[in-house]
Amino acid sequence: WRLSTQASTGDINAYYLIMRLVGEEKAEFALIAPFMPVGRDNMIAWMAGRSDPPNYGQLLVYQFPKQKLIFGPSQVAALIDQDPEIAAQLSLWTQRGSDVIRGDIMVIPLGDSLLYVQPLYLRAENSDLPELKRVIVSSGGKVAWGGTVDEAITTLLLRLHGEAPPEVSHPAAEEERPAPRRPAAEEKSVGGLARQAREHFDEAQEAARRGDWARYGRELEKLQAALEALLEETERGQR
């Protein structure tokens, strides 16, 4: 094995995530590193270094079944390069003199699925400071992008399943409120689950702006659960 690579940046550095590890009930702060077989581009495993007590320093390795082909970051990068919309926009920015900077592709485990996320930065010709311009996401062999993570995920789900994206919510209240109840069938649909994911993302962002890190952690747990259910429902619809 070796650390996963991608053509634009070489070896992918390990990165921190707040996520719920396989078999665990709560989300935790973990250092994640994807691995690939020597001489091949697919992913074979990923390692988590746990950072929360009482498991601080514990290393866990999750290996994929040999009979299952899992795209590695370099293969996902190739999918991104083949997307006509993304390729056209990157070419346009380059022609205008901007420097396009592609960050590492982060592999985020979500239940039995993987979500690949790559930040895209743009540095103007007369500026030394790069700006986050787009977020690219991929899962199930599909690619999408948007100005934010939730926009990109919504577009990805639209491409995977074909449903219209949900309305964007902008919570303004200072206190945490229970979400309004929706019919059970709607909550379990792709559109309903996507709406839940966006709501939890917005709530987490609002909590972070106020410095309410306890609530921020709770909303991230709910966001991960919604994304796991969403990808599972999307894959079920493709069978």
Q: pLDDT tens across 35-70, in order? A: 988 888 889 999 999 999 999 999 999 998 888 888
Predicted confidence (pLDDT) at residue 226 exceeds the cutoff of 90: no
Radius of gyration of the chain (CA): 18
Q: What pLDDT, on a 0 to 100 scale, did the predictor assign at position 57?
A: 93
Q: What pLDDT, on a 0 to 100 scale, did the predictor assign at position 166?
A: 47
Q: Using pLDDT thresholds of 50, 70 and 90, give the confidence band for residue 76.
A: very high
Sign of the CA dihedral with 90 first, then 42, 62, and 51 last = negative
Q: What pLDDT, on a 0 to 100 scale, did the predictor assign at position 31?
A: 94
The share of the chain scoring above pLDDT 70, in percent, equals: 82
Q: What pLDDT, on a 0 to 100 scale, did the predictor assign at position 155?
A: 85
Q: What pLDDT, on a 0 to 100 scale, did the predictor assign at position 121?
A: 93
Predicted confidence (pLDDT) at residue 113 exceeds the cutoff of 70: yes
CA pair distance 35, 61, nearest whole angstrom: 10
Q: What pLDDT, on a 0 to 100 scale, did the predictor assign at position 50?
A: 95
Sign of the CA dihedral with 213 first, then 217, 222, and 228 last = positive
Predicted confidence (pLDDT) at residue 172 exceeds the cutoff of 60: no
User: Looking at per-residue confidence, does 44 or 223 come out higher?
Assistant: 44
Give the tens place of pLDDT for each residue, 176-202. Answer: 445 444 444 445 676 777 778 778 877
CA angle 136, 140, 142 (to 5 degrees): 45
Predicted confidence (pLDDT) at residue 222 exceeds the cutoff of 90: no
Spatial CA neighbour of 29 closest among 56, 4, 60, 3? 56
Q: What pLDDT, on a 0 to 100 scale, did the predictor assign at position 98?
A: 84
Q: Using pLDDT thresholds of 50, 70 and 90, give the confidence band for residue 79.
A: very high
Q: What pLDDT, on a 0 to 100 scale, did the predictor assign at position 7?
A: 62
Q: What pLDDT, on a 0 to 100 scale, did the predictor assign at position 167?
A: 47
Least confident among 88-102, 179-193, 212-226: 179-193
* Mean pLDDT, range 81-94, rounded to an integer: 92
Q: Using pLDDT thresholds of 50, 70 and 90, give the confidence band for residue 236.
A: low
Q: What pLDDT, on a 0 to 100 scale, did the predictor assign at position 5?
A: 77
